[in-house]
Structure 1
């Protein structure tokens, strides 16, 4: 059995829950994980490639390696066995576009006007092309850069990946689209190659997978960054065989007379099911498997860092046990996400890490691994994990911070400060109470006040929300 840490033990709410907590009991005996330990010796390598894969609204326990009892994800489980599976990894926010801002910039979403949108929903909002990004900083050091899939940081003509450091873009600008027609949340066509519309009526996950397979299989002459952002399993809940249902949704979008009607058509509130959601997650897993196989065939697998995560917590059909909350809120279910890192040249497999990390940390980490320097005018909010992953250096205790309109949250060690939508403050010990049910604020008022004051100090440096 893998080692069960105090943090993992906090989720053991009964014998029947054991298989769900941190995915530990879900890992087959032959693939048992061990606590993370950096490799003591590693061969010299050149600068690595980066394959950063995001699922969309994928919940923390939606992978079988994280405890899902009904979803089978053999390719992502294999990826976890070949690298490090993080149990206490978080998204930068509780919704899609703010987390993407935090990944692309390495900063809190509230540092930029576009990051205040939760999520970006009109043509006036977006990531300022003048702001340095992971892609633009890597490109300055000689990296080739591409983004395939969901951008969700603004629409043309003002915003686009190609305006923010990516050499190539193939995908959608908005937060959601119908998987076959490619009609998006503004009611118009939203599939682009560069800045030109592109037509392909096949299932979107299939189209993105083909593009990613082609990109990683090229004869690259420079190290590369590929952001591969799937929309799966975000609503509308459609699988590859659901073209007829997709056509019905597309017809409703075309007939819509308001933004609300478009959103209702895409969300299809009477649609979806656990079975359909399972089918979508399993198709995401198969897609990732195809891309990873193409990477293996290309001969670049050994020196490519693969990072897989979700952009926020799960939604209606996700399997989130034992977490409380879901997408949109800062309870654990809204921000704790499955996260896997693999780098065969430098990191051993079959490992599990319980270190609390969040999206901006990965930006800082990839920049350091590439030898790229952040822009001093735009200091990062993330902490590079390079010393931890490669040299076994202990991560100093720090505060992980989140702010959305409805909630606030801060984590320090096992302690979490959380303010709910009613403005009530709570204090949880995640090491003993992963489900956030026992409010210890009345018992530890000094600690609650200390964490709240830390949250307010950080928030004071961010942009205020517009009225």
Structure 2
């Protein structure tokens, strides 16, 4: 009898030595919505869009009221995943090969996985669709994601374009036809992952990144849409619109509101699951949005929207629910940002940053757990705009306490001309940024300008060839069939995703390999033509049959090393690129 009792105790001692205090470590869930906007919450003063579950979460959570993100989605995701400015990561824009994160970057998923956590992602990754750039290659052991920057983009699987309901998603690298609404599916999969982890006695990190309420807006939860379609959205609509346009905008807002309330419903389901599993006290649940709202709508006492570097474009509430350590009434107005999420999670989970690894963020956990935390004055910079290489002073904001130095030169332009027209605001007195103080406080403007210049030089010199995109690696066992889309090509002709546009892909082929290449079009509505495939000094020409979407194939051999692959399609003298290309290792 003594031996039967001693054996389990000995095993327990060994297990604790291997994984000390495992039972005391918190689980972690990060939820980030897409284009929700900092004012789309009841607890932020929005009286039109229903968010009762998030309002309840706010009432029982720690709250950061001065939290910032990037003006668009992929840069925010790179900052959140790495704790570093996205300009260090090669992820500088949202499409055409500029939203691919360098594989040398160390993600929160990799750090937690290596510390013994199970890791899962559900929804939007948006930092590379092919090996070795996928979430499943960057530390996530379980993944259910869509490709590209959103459903309804050129990276959609063929035949599943724009389907929020019954979408085709990618499950651990394999396309899978799903049944249900996309947001519900992400939460379902996340809860299955959580349940399995708990049953196996494992800690988990779960990242739920919805593509809602990002457009397109044609496919939304029908019952919630019916609830909102006759609502008067005047109180949250920004700008005076003519009646016809006003009705159209009301309908769009009804669809966006339906998607937001659907996310809210799922947050409620998630908390019920945590309670049922008995892990709600020691599970961290964070909620934030990735940038400002995708229409001109309510953003509280700020101005701006998605893609703007005004506060309405880069502010998000940050809810931090951890009953075991964070009091429900604990709030902070200190300056925090997306780069702080990774160090905060590591701090909470007692996981060390690897020696020599540089982070730009700092843990905000003391702001929510200590009575008089030390929070030295800091400067945080937000900059994003179109283009292959960032331009100094283009579309940026630098924040230091209540000061904001900003040059809102326009996200959509690759460059601006002339000297930058810098603006300076005191956000403590002027959150709407109405009074430019650059003339009244020239010394502050000069000091912050120098700080910005130092920041830009620093982040731009992280690597040699700092802004060159990563390469897609083909022909490996990790991804025998590589689907190349307009999301990750380097654009050279026409508007990036227009029918007549063209581009090329930067690849790496580990060894001389024979491939079958398939050229795919957006639809079967096209004339006969030909396609010239080029890879380095080699080229192949294949006929394109009229009125045929796919099945245009050739056998090609690619040499070892870096490859620039292009496909020029000639339709009656007009040259354009394909919709997608599939490379299959023979």
TM over 0.5: yes
For residues 215-294 of structure 1, the aligned pairs below 5 Å read 215-218=193-196, 219-237=199-217, 238-241=219-222, 272-294=251-273
The answer to whether the 8 A contact 2:120-2:190 is kept is no
Residue 125 of structure 1, CA deviation: 4.9
CA distance in 2 between partners of 1:214 and 1:317 (Å): 37
Match 1:296 to one of 275, 282, 294: 275
Equivalent position of 1:130 in the other structure = 104
1:215/1:447 CA distance change after superposition, 3 Å: same
Q: Taking structure 2 as the reference length, what is the TM-score of the superposition?
A: 0.63
Deviation at 1:465? 5.4
State the Cα RMSD in Å.
2.6
* 1:204 CA drift (Å): 0.8
**What is the distance in 2 between the residues matched to 1:109 and 1:371?**
25
Instruction: Give the deviation of 1:361 after TM superposition.
Output: 0.7
Q: Which residue of 2 aligns with 1:69?
A: 47
CA contact (8 A) 2:332 2:367 kept: no
Taking structure 1 as reference, are residues 146 and 332 closer, same or farther at Cα in structure 2, changes over 3 Å only?
same
Matches within 5 A, 1:404-423: 404-405=384-385, 406-421=394-409, 423=420
- Tell me by how many angstroms 1:90 deviates: 0.8
How much does 1:270 deviate? 8.5
DSSP-derived class of the 1:443 partner: coil
Mapping of 1:87-126 within 5 angstroms? 87-91=65-69, 93-113=70-90, 115-116=91-92, 118-122=93-97, 125-126=99-100
Which protein, 1 or 2, shows the higher relative CO under an 8 Å CA cutoff with sep ≥ 6? 1
> 1:79/1:271 Cα in 2 relative to 1: closer, same or farther (>3 Å)?
closer
| Residues 164-197 of structure 1: CA deviation (Å, up to 9, x unaligned) | 0111111113111049975369xxx861100111
Aligned to 1:385: 364
Point out where structure 1 has 5 or more consecutive residues left out of the alignment.
1-43, 243-268
Shift of 1:386: 2.4
Alignment TM-score, normalising by the size of structure 1? 0.79
2:381 aligned residue: 401
Q: Kindly name which structure, 1 or 2, has the bigger radius of gyration based on alpha carbons.
A: 2
The DSSP-based 3-state class of the residue aligned with 1:273 is helix
Give the distance between the partners of 2:296 and 2:251, measured in 1 at CA.
8
Alpha-carbon displacement from aligned partner over 1:98-152 (angstroms, at most 9, x marks no partner): 1100011110000022x12x11344x85223332110111111111111111111
- Cα distance 1:451–1:359, how it changes in 2: closer, same or farther (>3 A)? same
Q: Distance in 2 between matches of 1:229 and 1:135?
A: 14
Determine the structure 2 residue equivalent to 1:426.
423
Query: 362, 367, 389: which one pairs with 2:346?
Result: 367
Q: Distance in 2 between matches of 1:270 and 1:277?
A: 10
Aligned residue number for residue 191 of structure 1: 169
Aligned twin of 2:118: 144
User: Which residue of the other structure, out of 318, 321, 330, is the alignment partner of 2:300?
Assistant: 321
Stretch moving more, 334-343 or 455-464: 455-464
Consecutive unaligned residues of structure 2, counting only runs of 5 or more, are: 1-21, 224-247, 386-393, 410-415, 461-465, 469-489, 491-586
